[in-house]
Amino acid sequence: MVATKWLGRMALAATIVCSSIGAWAQDAVEKTWYNQEKTAKVKVFKATDGKYYGKIVWLKEPNNAQGKPRTDINNPKKEHQNDALMGLQLLKNFEKDGSNGYSGGTIYDPKNGKTYSCKMTLNGDKLDLRGYVGISLLGRTTTWTLAE
């Protein structure tokens, strides 16, 4: 009986320790970031497919002039133009590429409705995002800052 209680307690302790280790394993990019203009915050997270994504979790101006939630009015797909900007996934399908790089993903710009190939580079409390068409040499870099 005593041995059974002891084994149960040890199993519980092992579960707690393993859960804590999983929390420590969070990647440094998995945080909330201000966009360059500080008009939005984007939460970067690792999905179950092992890739990194980012969605809007805060907007400086969440509502339009009519007081309704802002929508993705510039989306080239008419059926998505009424989708809310809050919660919109901007970053998709990034894979870790070295110690501070992430590549193979895309970034969506709701200002113009275009999606670009993208690579991200983590530099401490800054995240450089290089959006491009074709090759990264022909692109633009924007820098996001840590919001947490």
CA contacts within 13 A on the Cβ side of 127: 26
- The answer as to whether 38 is a domain residue is yes
Nearest to 53 by CA among 62, 42, 41: 42
Distance CA 82, CA 75 (A): 9
- The answer as to whether 18 is a domain residue is no
Q: With 90 as the cut, is the pLDDT of residue 136 above it?
A: no
- The answer as to whether 71 is a domain residue is yes
Q: Please report, for the domain that includes residue 127, its CATH number.
A: 2.40.128.520
Could you tell me if 85 and 65 are in contact, meaning their C-beta atoms sit under 8 angstroms apart? no
- For 40: left if phi > 0, alpha if psi spans -120 to 50, otherwise beta; the answer is beta
- The answer as to whether 20 is a domain residue is no
Going by pLDDT thresholds of 50, 70 and 90, the confidence category of residue 138 is confident
Identify the domain containing residue 137 by its residue range: 27-146
- The answer as to whether 72 is a domain residue is yes
Report pLDDT digits (tens) over 12-34: 444 444 444 444 579 999 999 99
- The answer as to whether 110 is a domain residue is yes
In total, how many domains does the chain have? Answer: 1
